[in-house]
Amino acid sequence: MAGVSQASAFFLPSGRRLDESPAQTVYLKAMSIPREQQQGLVGRLTDLCGGAYTPQQRRKYFISGPQWAGAYEGHALFHAPTREPVSFEEVIRHLGEIGIPYWTTHDSDVIATDVLLTDRQWEVVGAISRALEQNGVKCSMVTCETFHHPVFAGSAAAEAPEVREYAAKRLRNTVEIGHELGAQFAVYWPGTLGYMVQGAIEETQTLRWFADGLNAACERDIEVAQQKGRPTLKHCLEAKPFEPQAQIILPTSDAMMAFIGSGLLTHPEMVGLNPEYLHELMWGGAVRAVLARALLAGKLWHFDINDGYPLKHDVDLGVGLVNPLDWLNVLVLLRTHGYEGPFNLDYKPPRTTSNYGVWKVSFPTAVDRFITLWEIAGEVAEDSVLNEATAALKAGGGATGGDLQSIVEANKELLSLHELISHRIFQILIGQHKGRTFSV
Residue 408 CB, shortest distance to ligand GLT, in Å, is: 46
- Among residues 348 and 369, whose Cβ is nearest to Mn ion? 348
Q: Give the nearest distance from C-beta 344 to ligand GLT in angstroms.
A: 7
* Per CB under 6 A, 368 contacts ligand GLT: no
Binding flag, residue 91, ligand GLT (CB under 6 A): no
Query: Pick from ligand GLT, Mn ion, none: which does 143 bind, CB < 5 to 8 A by kind?
Result: ligand GLT
Of 169, 125, 126, nearest in space to 146 by CA: 169
User: Does position 307 bind Mn ion by CB under 5 A?
Assistant: no
Instruction: Decide if residue 109 touches Mn ion (CB under 5 A).
Output: no
Binding-residue total with ligand GLT (CB under 6 A): 10
Does 307 contact ligand GLT by CB under 6 A?
A: no
Q: How far apart are CA 277 and CA 314, in angstroms?
A: 10
Is 187 an interacting residue with respect to ligand GLT (CB under 6 A)? yes
Beta partners for 187?
Answer: 143, 236
Rounded Cα gap, residues 102 and 92, in angstroms: 9
Nearest Cα to 85, choosing from 110, 103, 122, 58? 110
Q: Are the CB atoms for 213 and 165 separated by under 8 Å?
A: no
Could you say whether residue 314 binds ligand GLT (CB under 6 A)? yes
| Residue 276 engages ligand GLT in binding (rule: CB under 6 A) | yes
Q: Does 143 bind ligand GLT (CB under 6 A)?
A: yes
Residue 368, binding choice from Mn ion, ligand GLT, none, Cβ under 5 to 8 Å by partner class: none
CB 300 within 8 A of CB 251: no
How far is Cα 167 from Cα 349, in angstroms, rounded to an integer? Answer: 30
Contact code string over 269-288 relative to Mn ion, x by CB under 5 A: -------x-x----------
Query: Secondary structure of 396-416 in the HEC alphabet?
Result: CCCCCCCCHHHHHHHHCCHHH
Residue from 107, 212, 304, 368 in contact with ligand GLT (CB under 6 A): 304
Residue 346 Cβ vs Mn ion, minimum distance, rounded to whole Å: 4
Concatenate the DSSP letters of all residues of 129-178 into one string.
HHHHHHHT-EEEEEE---SSSGGGTT-TT-SSHHHHHHHHHHHHHHHHHH
User: Considering only residues 238, 254, 307, 368, which one is a binding residue for ligand GLT as defined by CB under 6 A?
Assistant: 238
Q: Which residues bind Mn ion (CB under 5 A)?
A: 276, 278, 304, 314, 316, 346
**Residues at the interface with ligand GLT (CB under 6 A):** 68, 106, 143, 187, 189, 238, 276, 304, 314, 346
